[in-house]
Structure 1
Amino acid sequence: MASSRGDRRVRMRAAVLVLVAGALFGASNPLAKLLLDEDFPAVAMAGTFYLASGVELLVLRWILRAARRRSEPGLGRTDFKWLAGAILAGGIAAPVAQLYGLKVAPAHIASLIVSVEVVFTILIAVLLFGERPTAREYGAMGVVVLGALAVGFGTRGSGGGGEAVAGALLIVLACLLWGFDNNFSERISAKDPIQIAGVKGLVAGGANLVLAAAFFTLPRLDPALLAFASIVGLLSYGTSIALFVYGLRHLGPSRTASLFATAPVWGVVLSWTALGEKPGPFALAGGVILLGGIWALLALSSGRR
């Protein structure tokens, strides 16, 4: 009985930390939009976000281990194939697709569309790893997709026309890639989440900065912008990833992804308050439908591991 109560407390703490991870990641779209408006190249921004988060998290891990405050098991040789997949899909390709999409799509649209990540995560878990959602969970996923389609139609009224629609599709692609990332990360979630997020950030960030230097002419950036991007990277990517991996360990991919899918709420609120974006009727209606589907998924998955 005591063990059962202890397990419940651990799961509750994991759920709260995943909600925090969602809030941190949800803030990334409007904050990144501010940087893109300052002509910060998308590939270089993705590299800066992840490299900053990787360096800072690995330094934090070293400090904690030196102080003997952490005894999490580190990554082993058999973990690196899953980590490599997570880095390629979720650390290198996905943020580039996200930021190029965000360049032409409004931040509140991008924030809402990111909700389809939970659908891709669950479907990939079904196809590759044998998870078995219930009929009601499939129905809730259908509601999420319907809401995302309505939000997609809303991009036509956002002032961006065809470019905004293309941006929305790039964000959907990023969600698909993050779906693979989530499932690969779940395979190694028993290991130190700070190390996983740190290595992922260091490798993915370095790779994107090399790509940016090789294929783009990079402008001279204000040190204040670089510092701001580093802080966004540490919080919205590094810390968020570490908390997400911790959630995967205790909650499994479906429930963790459902909790994380609350991220759009924070992105939309920041887009409206900080950027002054005004959603059209399709975006509003689609957002309500989409968030309703997420709520249903969260309720239905509450008993799943």
Structure 2
Amino acid sequence: MSDFRSAIWPALAAAALFGASTPLVKLLVGESPPLLLAGLLYLGSGLGLAAIRLVRDRGWKPSGLAPGEWRWLAGAIIFGGMLGPALLVFGLTRTDAGPASLMLNLEAVFTAVLAWVVFRENADRRIVLGMLLIVAGGVVLAWPAEGPVSADGIGLLAIVAACLCWAIDNNLTRRVSASDALFIAGAKGWTAGLVNTSFGLLVGASLPTLATAGTAMLVGLAGYGLSLVLFVHALRGLGTARTGAYFSTAPFVGAAVALLLLGESASALFWVAAGLMGLGVWLHLTERHEHAHTHEPLEHAHPHVHDAHHQHAHDFGWDGREPHSHLHRHEPMTHEHPHFPDLQHRHRH
């Protein structure tokens, strides 16, 4: 149970960083074409996280990914770092911001549906209702203002496809979430950054001023890089659907920051959205899931402490520090306790 509680805060912090970055990105819109701006944001994320990892490890160290995990990371990069942004930018050229923001809330829905239907992640009625309330809050918050709205079917379908790509990305990232979060997020960042920046330049965009480029990359490091690192940590303890639901509070955080930073006024819909999201988060916080379950044999590497699920000997010199990371094996075990679909509890019901 404690692992679940400790994983909530990275999920909410990831949403806060991403949501807070949105008003800052709005300030940069107009300084660069959208695709080039997206590339700079991702490039700042990738380069910044790579630098942090080099300092942390005092040099280059292997990623820690198992041979069979590279395909999951490659899929996450393709869907989330390349296809998703490209589809979104195309959709935005044919759709106003209001309808586009409304459609972006589908990411959480698609993420949860894929987690439950395809990857067989467990969710009870409380979690489903909480997720729906959080998404409903995002819908209310993004509801278009009065006035003429421009949107066509192709543009909206492109944004829906982008949401589906990011949902696939979220579920694939969960498959490698036990590995180094800095490497996972950094690899996504610099790959997507290079692709989007290169494509933006190829279609005729010009590089912005050094100040604009530097600001965009710093915003990307916080809102896309560090946010994703926290998202990966949350995936380990919460599973995909719950992490996606908490992350759906990002629109509320972005709107709240816009009130303070840009001096925008709060409408009645803002407070309705805040209430819906708050109730959804409360339903998740108060969830209790407990039943007898069996752990199948499993061998992997991830940061851990020697709790009930990690009772193993070491074949190397260990200084007693926890958490620590190394390849270890889980023997079959059946027991009952409160748990959630974290790294140790990916079982059928």
Instruction: Report the TM-score when normalising by structure 2.
Output: 0.70
The amino acid of 2:144's aligned partner reads T
The one-letter code matched in structure 1 to 2:120 is G
- Give the whole-Å Cα distance in 2 for the aligned partners of 1:301 and 1:97: 36
1:206 and 2:199 correspond = no
Number of residue pairs the alignment of both structures matches: 289
The structure richer in helix per residue is 1
**What one-letter code is carried by the residue in structure 1 that aligns with 2:277?**
L
Residue 281 (structure 2) pairs with residue 295 (structure 1): yes
Residue among 96, 107, 115 paired with 1:117: 107
SS at match of 1:130: coil
Give the aligned residue type for 1:275. Answer: L
Which residues of 2 match residues 93-242 of structure 1 at below 5 A? Answer: 93-98=83-88, 104-105=96-97, 110=101, 114-144=104-134, 146-147=136-137, 150=140, 154-157=143-146, 159=147, 161-163=149-151, 173-214=161-202, 216-242=203-229
8 Å Cα contact 1:21/1:260 also seen in 2:
yes
- Cα shift readout 1:113-139 (whole Å, capped 9, x = no counterpart): 655433221111112101232234434
Unpaired segments of 5 or more residues in structure 2? 290-339, 342-349
1:61 equivalent in structure 2: 53
What is the correspondence of 1:244-283 to structure 2 with a 5 Å cutoff? 244-278=231-265, 283=269
Q: Structure 1, unaligned stretches of length 5 or more?
A: 1-6
The farther-off stretch of 194-203 and 57-66 is 57-66
Q: 1:168 deviation in Å?
A: 7.6
**Residue aligned with 2:220, SS:** helix
Summarize the Cα distance change of 1:56–1:147 in structure 2 as closer, same or farther, 3 Å threshold: closer
**Distance change >3 Å, CA 221–CA 73, structure 1 → 2:** closer
Aligned residues of 1:122 and 1:254 also touching (Cα < 8 A)? yes
Distance change in 2, residues 1:140/1:11 (3 Å): closer
Q: What is the RMSD of the two structures over their aligned residues, measured on CA atoms? A: 3.4
**1:11-22 mapped onto 2 (5 Å cutoff):** 11-22=4-15
Q: Residues 122 and 205 of structure 1: is their aligned pair in 2 closer, same or farther, counting only changes over 3 Å? A: same
**What letter matches 1:86 in structure 2?**
A
Contact map agreement 2:136 2:273 (CA 8 A) in 1: no
| 1:48 aligns to 2:35 (yes or no) | no
Give the 3 Å change call, closer, same or farther, for CA 249–145 of structure 1 in structure 2.
closer
Distance change >3 Å, CA 150–CA 267, structure 1 → 2: closer
Kindly indicate whether residue 70 of structure 2 is the aligned counterpart of residue 84 of structure 1: no
- Paired-residue identity, %: 35
The residue that corresponds to 2:346 in the other structure is none
C-alpha spacing 1:149/1:57, structure 2 compared with 1 (3 Å): closer
